Amino acid sequence: MRICWCVLAFSYFVLALASKQKCSDCLCKSREVDCGNLQKAPNQLTFPKDKLDYRFEHNGLVSLDVHSFYLLTNMQWIYLTNNSLTKIPGKTFYKNADLHAVYLNNNNLTNLPSNLFSKTPNLQEFYCSDNQITHIDQYVFANLPKLTQLRLANNRLVAVHPMAFSTANALSTLYLEENLLETAYWTWIANMSLSATSEIELDANRWSCDCRMWPFVHSVTSHKQRLSVVRNSHLSLPMCPGPDGRKTALTDKTKHDLVCRKAFFNFPLNSSAVSINVDAVEGGNVNLTCSGHGMPIPHLTLFNEVQQTLITGIGHVCFEIKEVTRDQLGKYKCMMVGTDNKGHDLVVNKTINLRIDSSSKRPVSVGTILAILLSVIFVIGVASCFWRRQKSRDGYGSLENTGGGAAYYELDESKVPEYQTQATPLEEENLFSDEEVYSKGDDKEVLV
């Protein structure tokens, strides 16, 4: 028992000593520790652990250790802006029950864990704009009764659960603009604590303005009196693009304006085909294409045989395979996500069978043809030069210029074949009939 008490006492002493560490790496004030612009993680720095506000901005952080802030039990404000964080562990703030504000702007976060704030009931402000977050589930902000400020602008949100903010009864400011949202829900703002200082920013999204938005329009119209307390400059509701490119307020639409049309595949995957065959030439290029129509415009995703996502898009996708090999043949799946005529979710899959066209040969490129032609020309040139040199070596004499006059060809009789010297008298008589012959002893010189 005494040993246990000694261990506990020693542990307490170590923690107390750690909390009183000198501020050797960071700039410390009465309640704040500034460890920004040091390019180091929190667990690489030495600083007091009993302050209230901590800054780790501009440090190039890519990830956080789950225990980074376990000793900062008094921490109320933490600044992690302007880093390169791609993810944050769910238990990052498990020991920070007094946390009031978290700043995570300007990072590369793609997801917020469901349990990120499960142990921070006193959180009042959360700033997470300018990231890459795509989804917000039902539980991230479920245990935050004191949350007043929530800013998620300029992310890549495509879906926010209808009940994501339903329990945040103290919420007065909500920023969701500059995202990719298509459908708005009244439940996002139904339980907000609205006043003249409240802010609701929902514009600049990809609002579809179809039948799924009618419940939101109907609720906003029914609660105009409640929303009227928010100043117009701080209330930005969804806008719908018109045929002329101008935007109109969603709340001006009627139920007949907001319609849904069942999603269907278009060419080359028509609605009646279960699959389609695409023939490719081995070594050539091929495009895998699928498109869909409907209201709202359906989302399309192309997968390979191992369910790896190749490309995603809205209304149309096209994936190019260059220099097709036999390893790339097989079944590809195009998944379309849309709605039926009543706005209910609809998912349809089609198969694309990529195969080799056996009747086609691999195309010969222009570069290959040019290379072959140049090779042939080179070989012919080399052969011609060799032939000329060989002929010169095996010739019957050589041309000589005696200096300024005519050029004379001196015959070398030793190289003249024997049958040419045994001419008949008649042939010998006419041999030089067209030329002048001069005798100099036994030699003959022919004037050319």
Output the CA–CA distances (angstroms, integers) from residue 177 to 155, 171, 419, in the order listed: 9, 17, 106
Within its chain, how far is the Cα of 301 from the centroid?
15
Residue-by-residue pLDDT tens, the chain, 448 positions: 455 444 444 444 444 444 445 677 789 888 999 999 988 888 888 888 888 999 999 999 999 999 999 999 999 999 999 999 999 999 999 999 999 999 999 999 999 999 999 999 999 999 999 999 999 999 999 999 999 999 999 999 999 999 999 999 999 999 999 999 999 999 999 999 999 999 999 999 999 899 999 999 999 999 999 999 999 889 999 998 877 778 888 888 888 999 999 988 886 655 566 778 888 888 888 888 889 989 988 999 999 888 899 999 888 999 998 888 888 888 899 999 999 988 888 998 888 888 887 665 555 566 778 888 888 888 888 888 877 777 666 554 444 454 444 444 454 555 545 544 444 444 444 444 444 444 444 444 444 4
Within its chain, how far is the Cα of 444 from the centroid?
89
- 392 token code pair: 């010169």
Whether the CB-CB separation of 35 and 47 falls below 8 Å is answered with yes
Please state whether the predicted TM-score (pTM) of the whole model is above 0.85. no
Question: Could you tell me which residues are beta bridge partners of residue 103?
Answer: 79, 127
* Residue showing tokens 């659960």: 161
- The sign of the torsion formed by the CA atoms of 388, 391, 393, 399 equals negative
Whether the CB-CB separation of 115 and 141 falls below 8 Å is answered with no
Map residue 166 onto helix, strand or coil.
coil
Q: What is the Cα–Cα distance from 311 to 261, expressed in whole angstroms? A: 24
CA angle (209 as vertex; 205, 210 as ends), nearest 5: 140
Largest CA distance in the chain: 143
